[in-house]
Structure 1
């Protein structure tokens, strides 16, 4: 395969707005088709106004073009080298890297991996209960070991008395592998299960990723746990990671510091403020500032007095900061005696999830990403008065009520509350949850509040490097979409609506407190203007669970703008939806739960909720390895529909020829998303062929893509078997779950002109008058309704551009614009102020809002602007003229 000149191909990335260069980070680069060979290496240059220097880095390929050339890569370097990097592919022999800094080394032994990362050395044991041990900084031990802790609450009732028993479990490592190793970082992946030695039960599998960097005191952790318990019996009481650290020196030189709303909470194990004997104020002042006190009792009377006082005061050995809601945390402490109580030290709103313990030998810091957002969480320090202390990061803290995985009702409400079916299909078996946290080690004995804040900020808002939106748009990253333009009055109006829509939802996350371990990242489905709240308690109207792809809306909104606040919200959505809303193992593996009061509550288990396309953005832009696991979980999602047929209540299985059913959209289109991702990640033609089989089946049908859209399907051969022109659920389901974006991107990857024609003709057919549809189909479509036409506007716009059809372009804009506006109402996503409602003094409310509408309207605007921008009215007067006289039923807010 002939490649373009590799020496002139490069990609320049800049630090995202509102982020700081704290340390090592990983970013993604996209390359033109045919430009970079799979055998290429990469140089990373730090760029500023005066110099352009090569920096230590490592790279890996994350996706390939169909011709085998490199499509996406991930690169790791220290962000402190600069706010702009340039990545340049080079020949395999990279002589310019000979004089770079020493590399990180890993030695594999029979029972462990030994890491030499310069200033930090560490051991990762194999097949033990310890996930990390013997961590030293310049030869001094700062962590002796780390392990996993779990508490499950068992409930029973005897003689009318509720009995709650907490059963402890420990994490048992079953496998350890190196996922990435290079000159500047190594990532270990540890897999295992929590085990109770009391009853030898194994439950809640876990995946832990540990990343150690060259000459960095910071170690990153990615913690994933998966639920395989019985939701009626297993109540999650506590789940955490525990670190042990040696403690040395006097009690008055042992410090603890928690990050808080403002500044930090800082105390010592023995506080040198004494009534009698009276300690010199300057000694206590120095202690409260975090200074180590080297007191000489033989030569200093004040020092002798302080030492004597320290022997007769309480020694605080245990502290816990518990974030029990999105708006409250508390700090408590106690002495070592188990028969003594805790006392309260502080209450606040939102803690950053950071803690530091320090003594005469150095300090240990821990900080968690999204700590308060994913409450109830805690950081706890114990045995601070002993030779070996422990610090626990509680993902779910034992200080609060145990997590209840049961469903909210004992039946389904398919009609009244829009749940899937009347049977209860709630199951948490197979869901997951992922959390990120880091530790930072130092031999410096000074406890510094500013240093803890910098570290906490680096975990909560790590550096992210991205290219300019125009670069991604030119490369057609994640398909075809439009850049913002403000040239005309109507363009400005549309961009304003897109911004208003996002800003409203961003604000709603805070106003409605859409936070919590199993909620953060998701948004609600439908608003209730009478209660001035979302329909949080009404079946299928509660959590969105990726329905109608708000993921694609948010990620494309970021791609075209580069806004950090959009990235933050999209990142949280991908992290939540890729874990909690889908099944990672079991009979439902690869499927997700449709929208419901509980994320896993709906009886509809659908491929569309779990498809890879929701999260490709996050994976390729950041190189996140956990998302790679998720892609593996969903790549064969079509196998799950054999036992969970999406149309199982509409067909008699005994009369079927194939094992199951799949609608061309959203089922098969979601499979295509999964297969496309597997194909590009590994250049695996097995999954390309699965896509091609379905496309060829559609090509052979009477109406091609417009046929169906219900088919019999067998995952053994991937064929779509035609069963006539009927639909169960509406034709809009064929286009509103991401199929438009998936199919257009696949068409470009395959270079299949006939498939592109089929997409175009289906977009056109959707907007034909009914009599014309019957005429062109020779009556085949019968009574099939092409409902909610604004959801097909992206595909219609594609068809208008490909077919050079001005009527279709104008019709597309009429339908799409009329969904939000009329000739006398162009207020769009305008929030109105109401008073003393929704527990707010002033509530900014859009009473008609639904996430289905918002995500689809915004996504289709972004798509339509790519294809038919020139047909968009230029002025608001032209827009109102275009909409004049249209049936008001097309107006969403009517």
Structure 2
């Protein structure tokens, strides 16, 4: 808790600001000449360990040691055991000396080598390069014989796709609908309306077009969207990354359908029109007018051709009775693959509107790809996370007409409408006292009107193919698999580590028994959480990617319905734990668990527009239900690693949106409910700000923007904050201080020491490791090292030096990594030994288990099989995981030598 300021503090602060106390200092930026390191090519490999059966095009990032690669230097990609492959590259980030820190690379579709290497040299251009051209109102993307015409405005995203002179796909549009009541009522349709389209990359290996717009209908424009189209040379498809923001009123805007729809010309005879739907490892493959299973046999050649998706022989060769009775065979125009839960899909079809549906099959988890067309061409559309993001649907309609529609529903129109209303009422908690009482009981920080979903977002990924004929079954299944779980190339962990990026971490080390035990537990924890996602069905459109916060051992259930104990919403940095684990191992399960979390926490847990813009929501029963809106959840620290490993433009957008989010704190006061705090008005443009949960969270965005653009404004803003903290009487141990938004400087609160157990556990440790590597601000370094040394210090030692300690001593296990950092930086063996003892203590953490602690629950009947990890919480797992990784990197010998001390009472 921040100490109360004196009564005349407002005037004192104003005088300090007007007197120039906020002026930026040079900060002693590190400009020392460094010898350029010898160039070492970067090995690149598949996270799954082997080349995929089908690749749709690759994009990945590669880090480089400072000074190794000059900006603008040509880089090429070589296949393992072969020569250069078609590629393109660009700069993602630079070091302070201007050399390349991260380069982005794109490969043409069809990558099939066991591995690759990025080396110096001019990149090879693909023979069928992607080309982009523009007119006044369109953008045309050409790859091989395919031309995609993208609209710059209007109702279609893509006006048409041609193969040669033949149109194989008509307009591609966004569709949506709402109902007046979640239980039914009148429906209002909406259609996407493009307001802007720009080319972000124009080849040769990859082209990227960004489209922006809104959904229009019922006399309003709403649901703003950003959509990117990605084309890779050698591909017959576009990757689609679709993002929208919910800007409606949860009390009246109930989305009943949200999808992407393509029109497909149908020219072939009805018996030569093919429908394909990817199910759970199989393929639903039928014709609009079937020729198999009839009472009369059309002939083997006809049956085999139709099943294979080829044109049937001339009708003159067909059996007479079937040929004369073709018009008597029903034509099935409509098909629906519905995944309304994570564990069940259904297939239905009908002859057309006004006629009844019949059941055509069912199963558990569909891959989520549909195709409609014929021997002369067609279209396929796949939705990633099809069953994980239920309720979803693939619809094919009017396949018996002149043009079929193929729709991937992100929210199925046959499911109950989307209901984003708060899950409970006020319950007498109009005032802060009652709200704090509720927080004390359920851990939920409730406030009327703040549990509002306005401004949350969701990103979905799809693949759209323009095909010249109906693919065979194996090809379609490979397409579905590549869309559902995209193959991924990643730089080798050893190369990433050698580049000295992302602070303090090292490669897995099982060279001693104690290190092996820690490594085993790191692996076991990842497996436990990945398995829990499936065991507990942590799925659904808004939920997928997050994990639960705390466990209820009495119910053998995570506390999904208990206030702040429910969804984790990045609490205590599970995102970072997973990403640092992925950095070390390149393990596919870890990578994809972290990827899904990044897609969730950066979108759903953050308000992108409105009064909370740029802030995230503390953990809760709904991802937006808690009234604590803070930068500690929205922080770019949780997105940076994914962005640099994958060069993902959407995550780049999200981080850039946070650059000025500190301005939101002028009307969202984080500490407004702190019991007993005396709230004194501050000068205009000055806000109270903690150093860790707020400033470091914001600093992550400024750091990333400085790296990405080289814009010195963001470097200077970092230096201003660092220098002003370093000049304070208590430095980092003050915990927080008034912050001048214009200058980026803190104002010294005087001789105040206030520790919070949360201040360094939302990315502050990781952000500071990078800041101190890049910026030479000696006072700040000293202030941070003091904080690291003294947070976990024995009380007697602390009070002998500073007097009575003010603030928390919680999370001792997790804070062992601060002690380890101070020990490493100062070469203090005694401090390293203390850090190891703190880590092994398990105090307010998870502890190092003797073996694998997971066990099945067999003591009572349960709805489903349960595996438990005694004492687990996501807070504990995340901080234990980060402490383990960083301690292994900083004090491995001390970990080997330490004797575990008696375990203290665990604090939650």
Task: Please say whether Structure 1 and Structure 2 have the same fold, judged by a TM-score greater than 0.5.
Answer: yes
Aligned to 1:883: 900
Post-superposition offset of 1:258: 0.8
SS at match of 1:859: helix
Aligned to 2:879: 856
Q: Indicate whether 1:203 and 2:222 are aligned.
A: yes
Q: Over residues 8-41 of structure 1, what are the superposed CA-to-partner deviations in whole Å (9 max), with x where a residue is unaligned?
A: 4432212222563413111111111122222222
Q: 1:355 aligns with which of 348, 359, 370?
A: 370
Residues in 2 aligned to 1:822 and 1:701: alpha-carbon distance in whole angstroms? 32
Residues in 1 aligned to 2:267 and 2:728: alpha-carbon distance in whole angstroms? 77
SS at match of 1:888: coil
CA contact (8 A) 1:551 1:614 kept: yes
Residues in 2 aligned to 1:440 and 1:868: alpha-carbon distance in whole angstroms? 52
Aligned to 1:266: 285
Q: 1:508 aligns with which of 532, 554, 575?
A: 532
Post-superposition offset of 1:716: 2.0
Q: 2:830 aligns with which of 800, 803, 807?
A: 807
Residues in 2 aligned to 1:530 and 1:694: alpha-carbon distance in whole angstroms? 47
Q: 2:341 aligns with which of 320, 325, 329?
A: 325
Aligned to 1:438: 463
Residues in 1 aligned to 2:728 and 2:847: alpha-carbon distance in whole angstroms? 44
Aligned to 2:191: 170
Q: Over residues 495-531 of structure 1, what are the superposed CA-to-partner deviations in whole Å (9 max), with x where a residue is unaligned?
A: 1111111111011000000011111110000000000
RMSD: 2.4
CA contact (8 A) 1:3 1:35 kept: no
SS at match of 2:244: strand
Q: 2:395 aligns with which of 368, 377, 380?
A: 380
Of the structure 1 ranges 502-511 and 147-156, higher mean CA displacement relative to structure 2 is found in 147-156
Residues in 1 aligned to 2:282 and 2:848: alpha-carbon distance in whole angstroms? 48
Aligned to 2:24: none
Against the structure 1 CA distance between its residues 837 and 402, is the aligned structure 2 distance closer, same or farther, given a 3 Å change threshold? Answer: farther
Aligned to 1:113: 139
Aligned to 2:714: 687
Post-superposition offset of 1:628: 0.9
Aligned to 1:293: 312
What are the within-5 Å matches in structure 2 for residues 600-611 of structure 1?
Answer: 600-611=624-635
Residues in 2 aligned to 1:731 and 1:275: alpha-carbon distance in whole angstroms? 75
SS at match of 1:402: coil
What are the within-5 Å matches in structure 2 for residues 138-537 of structure 1?
Answer: 138-155=164-181, 164-196=185-217, 199-273=218-292, 277=296, 279-280=298-299, 283-297=302-316, 300=317, 302-336=318-352, 338-411=353-426, 413-445=438-470, 447-537=471-561
Aligned to 1:30: 63
Q: Over residues 390-415 of structure 1, what are the superposed CA-to-partner deviations in whole Å (9 max), with x where a residue is unaligned?
A: 10010001010011011101136312
Q: Over residues 55-95 of structure 1, what are the superposed CA-to-partner deviations in whole Å (9 max), with x where a residue is unaligned?
A: 221111111111222111111013525232222245xxx4x
Aligned to 2:12: none
Q: 2:98 aligns with which of 48, 63, 68?
A: 68
Post-superposition offset of 1:463: 2.5
SS at match of 1:331: strand
**Number of residue-to-residue matches in the alignment:** 861
Higher relative contact order (CA 8 A, sep 6+): 2
Q: 1:80 aligns with which of 103, 108, 111?
A: 111
TM-score normalised by structure 2 residue count: 0.91
CA contact (8 A) 2:39 2:68 kept: no
Against the structure 1 CA distance between its residues 163 and 616, is the aligned structure 2 distance closer, same or farther, given a 3 Å change threshold? Answer: closer
CA contact (8 A) 1:363 1:442 kept: yes
CA contact (8 A) 1:514 1:522 kept: yes
Aligned to 1:845: 868
Q: Over residues 777-812 of structure 1, what are the superposed CA-to-partner deviations in whole Å (9 max), with x where a residue is unaligned?
A: 2x3x64333322222111110101122222221221
Residues in 1 aligned to 2:890 and 2:359: alpha-carbon distance in whole angstroms? 61
Aligned to 1:798: 821
Post-superposition offset of 1:306: 2.5
Q: Indicate whether 1:759 and 2:776 are aligned.
A: no
SS at match of 2:729: coil
Residues in 2 aligned to 1:494 and 1:887: alpha-carbon distance in whole angstroms? 17
Residues in 2 aligned to 1:7 and 1:364: alpha-carbon distance in whole angstroms? 49
Of the structure 1 ranges 262-271 and 12-21, higher mean CA displacement relative to structure 2 is found in 12-21
SS at match of 1:151: strand
Post-superposition offset of 1:466: 1.7
Any stretches of 5+ residues in structure 1 without a counterpart?
Answer: 157-161
SS at match of 1:863: helix
Aligned to 1:629: 653
Aligned to 2:749: 723
Post-superposition offset of 1:264: 0.9
Residues in 2 aligned to 1:727 and 1:766: alpha-carbon distance in whole angstroms? 11
CA contact (8 A) 1:678 1:684 kept: yes
TM-score normalised by structure 1 residue count: 0.92
